Chain A
Amino acid sequence: MRNIITVYIRPYFRRMGVGFLIKFAGTIMDLCIPYILAYIIDTVIPAGDRLRVLEWGLGMLVCSALAVSGNIIANRRASRVAADIIKTIRHDVFARIMTLSGSQMDALTRPSLISRMTSDTYELQQVIARIQRLGVRAPILLTGGVIVTFTLDWAMALVLTALLPLLVLVTVLVSRKGIPLYAKLRESADGMVRVVREDVAGIRVIKALSKTDYETERFREVNQSMTDQDKKAGMVMAVTNPSMNILLNLGLVCVIVTGAFRVNAGTGEVGKILAFTTYFTIILNAMLSMTRMFEMISRAIASGDRVWELLAMPEELGVQEPVHEFAEAANETGVTCKAAGVSAESKLGYESAAAGGDGVEGGKESCPPAILFDHVNFSYYTGREEQVLTDISFCVGRGEMLGIIGEIGSGKSTILNLMMRLYEADSGQIRIDGRDIRTWRPKELKQKFGVVFQNDMIFEDTIAENVTLGRPLSSQEVSDALCCAQAGEFVRARRDQQEDGLSIRGANLSGGQRQRVLIARALAARPEILILDDSSSALDYKTDASLRRAIRAYLPDTTLVVVAQRVSSILHADHILVLENGRMIGYGTHEELLEHCSVYREIAHSQMGEVR
């Protein structure tokens, strides 16, 4: 929370200060009115001067007018400042979320990110607005009250002041207990967001299995835990108010007893004790209204800490200085490429892989390979013994096609994640165009890719917007991409064609249509490397076949990486990588693999049957 204040609120201190001053003036005006009234009653009326009565009455009106305008202006400024601060915080939070690395996302989880971005910032906003609005009057009354009591009778005032450490102690104790409870409450809120999101996504399954009762129970649990946390925190915070009350009122009792002794000793006056009690009430009320703010602040601190935790996440996947000069890197890559070929060869026990590697090297010596993996290892969670990828090495030249095939869970998608540096490899090196990906600026690197993920996202927007995602692409480029993705036909059939709106998660498209829009998105910017992660699974063979032809015609120089379940989707690839349990168990062309790789042969036979 301290960080939130120094980073986000401090720049507004000046504006807030001016607002406080205006509010202060308004409040003073407000407080003046009873005194004028007392003056009228005590001094003016006995004098019997009608004109002066009217004059002072007018004075009261002026004060009221000043008070109301001061307060309104100050409130307006307070709302403005709160809105501006939160706008900045939300902007930064969202920006930070957008740049989180894959593993950071996994660690924080999306529901938590959503609630940090929404509820937690909202909590902060409420408090920032309210503290400014309500936080002026009470301190004025408090300090004013304390000063007046000191002028009345210092001894009695000291008794009151002696309570101060106790009050502080109560506050500290309660907040030390309360803030963690609020933090827990926010965590339970994450749980609620999780259940709602899951159930919205799975509503069809829930209904199909008639599991609404079960889900209701599941929600009841998170709801109950939220309610309990909220209640617990509330109960703890509720202690403050009565304990302040008790402390202060017992203080009052002490004051009276002290007063009694002083009066008895002749050093005090009874009238002063009386006046003291009046001011004491003011102090008490001010104190209580400050406790209310204190509760709000405790909530805000819990939220502020969560927001800051997110904002302060270390920047992962930073850009490294290029270790080598480009030419040198390219040169070295040639060697590594051969090494990759060799390692593949030794592992798989056939010659042709090396020949393939040489082919790449020899044919395109001048330009480095588009994609190169050199002994890459990876696991999602560090510290877990099971590796997702083990010793992956391959090399794809520019304009070539790489097919990746393997059982589910064999690490196919992970290779893609590493290739685009969504996750960082544990060891080994990955080069794109001969340069270590850690030395690419993220934007430059990403610009090379066009990707369709397995569970890729259709946004609630027009078809065209879903293809461009806001990239500066002409409508011609969009329609070309749609055509190439075999989506031209069904898009034309829609009412507003490219401008037709898509529902949330593309619900008004069939699975195959969704995939084709996603493919169009990947194609639209004519990327240097096109990655399709099992993205034609919902297409029928006919469409799939024409799609493959169209992509080659549309992007003749693009390097293709295709993850597929169907052998027919990758059988023309220049290199096919067969994965099992994160290891390469085959690498080569279709024909080579048929000959040397038993797993591949089995897959191919089961799919193609007697045809080949």
Chain B
Amino acid sequence: MEKQDRPEQSKRRYSRRTLIRLGQALMKERWRMLLALICTVGSNLFALIGPRLTGYAIEAIEGGRGQVDFARVGYYASWMAIFYVVSALMAYGLQVLMITISRRVVFTMRQELFEKLLTLPVGFFDVHQTGDIISRISYDIDTVNASLSNDLIQLLTTVITVAGALAMMVAISPQLVLVFAFTVPLSFFLTKYITGKTRPLFRERSAKLGKLNGFVEEMITGQKTLKVYSRESYTIGRCDEKNEEAAEAFYRAEYYGSIVGPCVNFVNNLSLSLTGVFGALLYLAGRMTIGDISSFVLYSRKFSGPINEAANILSELQSSLAAAERVFGLMDELPESADRADAVTLSQVQGSVELSHVEFGYQEGQTVIHDLSLTAEPGKLIAIVGHTGAGKTTLINLLMRFYDPNRGCVSVEGTDARDATRKSLRASYAMVLQDTWLFSGTIYENLAYGSRSAGRREVEQAARAAYIHSFIMRLPKGYDTVLTDEGANISKGQKQLLTIARAMLLDAPMLILDEATSNVDTRTEVRIQKAMRNLMKDKTCFVIAHRLSTIQNADWILVVDGGEVVEQGTHQELMEKQGYYRQMYEAQYE
């Protein structure tokens, strides 16, 4: 995502593409945009009528002492009032419209970005800091929001005004317009030069802020640990480095970005000076009247005003472009490979799973699973044991198709997993992972998470079966207790029981338990096992655990080491074998 090593050329193309995509996002609101434009023009015109009316009113006063035509003054004054009120109302309407458009665009952008996020492969989140992602979805999109719509309208109005003023100037004095033939390209190239220089700075500003946010998010998450090791000042020191970098990047982008405005203004002043001098010379040569010079100057000011404004906007646009680039960068991440067009929906899964000659590694050249084959028949309990890091969690990743194997295949009910839709494949499994996950919501919502149809009764039943019901009832609000993100009163073990109950509610033919009960005290675990056995009836079950008591009852035990199945068999067989399994078993009582 950091395109820093891209050559400048492609970077330029990249920002053009960003611009186009931003335009496309806005085009979805094209009718509202058009309406906004009409409002702008209308409100400006109405505002222009105001001075005209003022003029008439003043004409009525012009009679002087005792001669003022109060009727006419009153007439025009009341019209003025009406026009100004109408113009202001239109201006308000315009603002409302613009606010609506920009918030809609931003809403869609956020939504799309988030939806994209959910399609990314799970590995993405292992290498991208949450804080940086949050930074993109909040700050970067906000930046786009702040400038996008308003600036665009502003630029459009600018174009209209400038074109009009230019036409008037050409009509008055074509020679004098030559001054602009010099200064307009000058400001154009100046702007282009400076923005070319500042674009990377804005990019860096966004990136550095993202880095800072990534760091901050990680450290806030680990605050307790850092505190216990008295690492506060050390961490603050590290944060200062990132803070310093972000502040410097902000300073550089802001400073160089703010050069554009005064520079363009300078060029405008330059052209004003030149107009004055040349105009005077032309007058002295008898080629122009003083009146012409005055009105030319008047129009040239009308001309340069919006250009000034536009130049200022440019630096804002720069920052929103840089931000948009980061947003689109995330949107362009490769999602999980799409389901095949002819992917089948797995239905009536009995629970037979087969792995044949599976080879897999997360990174190229680092194979963690070599040539693994196993067959799980419906309703069987497959226990996978082995040293930590022997590749057990990886196995889950392959079963659930978070990753596809590099070689070999995983098949469910005889269908290659890659030929089935992910949704139906994953729906065939109920899973309780090592890292328990609950979201902020009520306990009920958390339990019913996987099965939409589960009513209160089913949920309570599952909770009872997972031996968490009485705990829940002891909470002040029972099932309606809201779990806050960092719920201090819920221990890891309790969370685990809740996720077990959640898995129980899924009516899936296969069940995966990844060390799921490791945080449950053994007293509870025995009861859970009983409940589980009932639940698991006729279901294929993969249990990855280190506790031999959990797996003694397994139909089949796979002993995994170094990514390969070194031994397999029933508990009895393996004990008799006097091998690796026996060694592990006995270690328990050392």
Query: Does A115 interact with chain B (Cβ within 8 Å)?
Result: yes
Residues of A within 8 A of B584 (CB): 540-542
Residues of A within 8 A of B229 (CB): 446, 451, 469, 471, 521
Query: Does B538 interact with chain A (Cβ within 8 Å)?
Result: no
B84 contacts A40, CB within 8 Å? no
Q: Would A98 and B519 be within 8 Å (CB), given that A61-B273, A67-B269, A504-B218 are in contact? A: no
A203 contacts B125, CB within 8 Å? yes
Contact of A238 among B96, B429, B588 (CB under 8 A): B96
Cα distance A277–B484 when bound, in Å?
60
CB distance from A409 to the nearest CB of B (A): 5
Q: Would A457 and B221 be within 8 Å (CB), given that A98-B227, A204-B122, A504-B126 are in contact? A: yes
Query: Does A235 interact with chain B (Cβ within 8 Å)?
Result: yes
Residues of B within 8 A of A256 (CB): 54, 57-58, 61, 73, 77, 80
Query: Does B338 interact with chain A (Cβ within 8 Å)?
Result: no
Query: Does B251 interact with chain A (Cβ within 8 Å)?
Result: yes
B437 contacts A205, CB within 8 Å? yes
A-facing residues in B249-267 (Cβ within 8 Å) = 250-251, 254-255, 258-259, 261-263, 265-266
Q: Would A196 and B134 be within 8 Å (CB), given that A114-B216, A219-B111 are in contact? A: yes
Contact of B388 among A60, A250, A455, A540 (CB under 8 A): A540
Contact of A118 among B50, B104, B139, B440 (CB under 8 A): B139
Residues of B within 8 A of A508 (CB): 126, 362
Query: Does B587 interact with chain A (Cβ within 8 Å)?
Result: yes
Q: Would A260 and B73 be within 8 Å (CB), given that A199-B117, A219-B111 are in contact? A: yes
CB distance from A25 to the nearest CB of B (A): 13
Q: Would A259 and B61 be within 8 Å (CB), given that A216-B118, A227-B107, A456-B225 are in contact? A: yes
CB distance from B270 to the nearest CB of A (A): 6
Residues of B within 8 A of A405 (CB): 521
Q: Which of B13-21, B25-33, B275-283, B456-464 contacts A (4 or more CB under 8 A)?
A: B275-283
Which 9 A-B residue pairings sit nearest by Cβ, starting from the closest?
A: A512-B388, A408-B493, A542-B587, A507-B126, A457-B222, A64-B269, A202-B437, A57-B277, A541-B588
Q: Would A193 and B134 be within 8 Å (CB), given that A37-B276, A223-B114, A409-B491 are in contact? A: yes
Contact of A246 among B85, B294, B433, B515 (CB under 8 A): B85
Cα distance A230–B220 when bound, in Å?
27
B280 contacts A63, CB within 8 Å? no
A471 contacts B231, CB within 8 Å? yes
A41 contacts B269, CB within 8 Å? no
A443 contacts B230, CB within 8 Å? yes
Query: Does B549 interact with chain A (Cβ within 8 Å)?
Result: yes
Q: Which of A6-14, A74-82, A143-151, A356-364 contacts B (4 or more CB under 8 A)?
A: A74-82
- What 15 additional pairs, Cβ within 8 angstroms, besides A67-B265, A242-B88, A540-B387? A64-B266, A109-B484, A110-B221, A216-B118, A219-B110, A260-B57, A270-B58, A443-B230, A504-B129, A508-B126, A511-B515, A534-B519, A537-B515, A603-B523, A607-B549
A-facing residues in B14-69 (Cβ within 8 Å) = 50-51, 54, 57-58, 60-62, 64-68
Query: Does A15 interact with chain B (Cβ within 8 Å)?
Result: no
Q: Would A542 and B138 be within 8 Å (CB), given that A97-B220, A380-B488, A422-B227 are in contact? A: no
CB distance from B88 to the nearest CB of A (A): 4
Query: Does B99 interact with chain A (Cβ within 8 Å)?
Result: yes
Tell me which of A34, A199, A422 has the highest count of chain B C-beta atoms within 10 A of its own C-beta: A199
A407 contacts B524, CB within 8 Å? yes
B88 contacts A245, CB within 8 Å? yes
Residues of A within 8 A of B387 (CB): 512, 540, 542-543
- A 147-189 to B, binary, CB cutoff 8 A, 1 in contact else 0: 0000000000000000000000000000000000000000001
Query: Does B158 interact with chain A (Cβ within 8 Å)?
Result: no
Residues of A within 8 A of B367 (CB): none
Residues of B within 8 A of A456 (CB): 225
CB distance from B124 to the nearest CB of A (A): 8
B254 contacts A129, CB within 8 Å? yes
- A 601-612 to B, binary, CB cutoff 8 A, 1 in contact else 0: 011001111010
Tell me which of A72, A105, A118 has the highest count of chain B C-beta atoms within 10 A of its own C-beta: A118
Query: Does A91 interact with chain B (Cβ within 8 Å)?
Result: yes
Contact of B230 among A219, A257, A442 (CB under 8 A): A442
Residues of A within 8 A of B74 (CB): 257
Query: Does A215 interact with chain B (Cβ within 8 Å)?
Result: yes
Contact of B426 among A122, A209, A250, A513 (CB under 8 A): A209
Contact of B84 among A53, A249, A470 (CB under 8 A): A249
Residues of A within 8 A of B494 (CB): 408-409
CB distance from A272 to the nearest CB of B (A): 10
A-facing residues in B550-590 (Cβ within 8 Å) = 583-585, 587-590
CB distance from A185 to the nearest CB of B (A): 10
Residues of B within 8 A of A326 (CB): none
Query: Does B473 interact with chain A (Cβ within 8 Å)?
Result: no
Query: Does A319 interact with chain B (Cβ within 8 Å)?
Result: no
B224 contacts A65, CB within 8 Å? no
- A 396-429 to B, binary, CB cutoff 8 A, 1 in contact else 0: 0000000001111100110000001010000000
A238 contacts B92, CB within 8 Å? yes
Query: Does A351 interact with chain B (Cβ within 8 Å)?
Result: no
Range of interface residues on A (Cβ < 8 Å): 35 or more
B-side interface residues, number (CB < 8 Å): 178
A538 contacts B486, CB within 8 Å? no
- B 129-145 to A, binary, CB cutoff 8 A, 1 in contact else 0: 11101110111001000
Cα distance A446–B226 when bound, in Å?
10
Query: Does B389 interact with chain A (Cβ within 8 Å)?
Result: yes
CB distance from B149 to the nearest CB of A (A): 11
CB distance from B194 to the nearest CB of A (A): 11
Query: Does B173 interact with chain A (Cβ within 8 Å)?
Result: no
B236 contacts A91, CB within 8 Å? yes
Query: Does A44 interact with chain B (Cβ within 8 Å)?
Result: yes
B497 contacts A45, CB within 8 Å? no
Residues of A within 8 A of B247 (CB): 83-84, 86-87, 90
Q: Which of A261-269, A476-484, A586-594 contacts B (4 or more CB under 8 A)?
A: A261-269
B583 contacts A542, CB within 8 Å? yes
A122 contacts B222, CB within 8 Å? no
Query: Does A200 interact with chain B (Cβ within 8 Å)?
Result: yes
A566 contacts B522, CB within 8 Å? yes
B258 contacts A40, CB within 8 Å? no
Mostly helix, strand, loop or mixed at chain A's interface? helix
Query: Does A106 interact with chain B (Cβ within 8 Å)?
Result: yes
Query: Does B81 interact with chain A (Cβ within 8 Å)?
Result: yes
Query: Does B442 interact with chain A (Cβ within 8 Å)?
Result: no
CB distance from A243 to the nearest CB of B (A): 7
B-facing residues in A31-76 (Cβ within 8 Å) = 33-34, 36-37, 40-41, 44-46, 48, 50, 53-54, 56-57, 60-61, 63-65, 67-68, 71-72, 75-76
A60 contacts B273, CB within 8 Å? yes
CB distance from A439 to the nearest CB of B (A): 17
Query: Does A24 interact with chain B (Cβ within 8 Å)?
Result: no
Residues of A within 8 A of B212 (CB): 90, 118
B284 contacts A540, CB within 8 Å? no
Query: Does A282 interact with chain B (Cβ within 8 Å)?
Result: no
CB distance from A228 to the nearest CB of B (A): 8
Q: Would A511 and B388 be within 8 Å (CB), given that A227-B103, A566-B522 are in contact? A: yes
Residues of A within 8 A of B523 (CB): 407, 599, 602-603, 606
Cα distance A193–B80 when bound, in Å?
50
Q: Would A208 and B400 be within 8 Å (CB), given that A80-B255, A266-B66, A449-B228 are in contact? A: yes
Q: Which of B162-170, B238-246, B346-354, B410-418 contacts A (4 or more CB under 8 A)?
A: B238-246
Contact of A204 among B254, B402, B518 (CB under 8 A): B402
A33 contacts B58, CB within 8 Å? no
Query: Does B331 interact with chain A (Cβ within 8 Å)?
Result: no
Cα distance A256–B247 when bound, in Å?
51
Residues of B within 8 A of A95 (CB): 232, 236
Query: Does A99 interact with chain B (Cβ within 8 Å)?
Result: yes
Query: Does A194 interact with chain B (Cβ within 8 Å)?
Result: yes
Q: Would A118 and B220 be within 8 Å (CB), given that A53-B281, A91-B240 are in contact? A: no
Name the CB-closest residue of B to A42.
Answer: B290
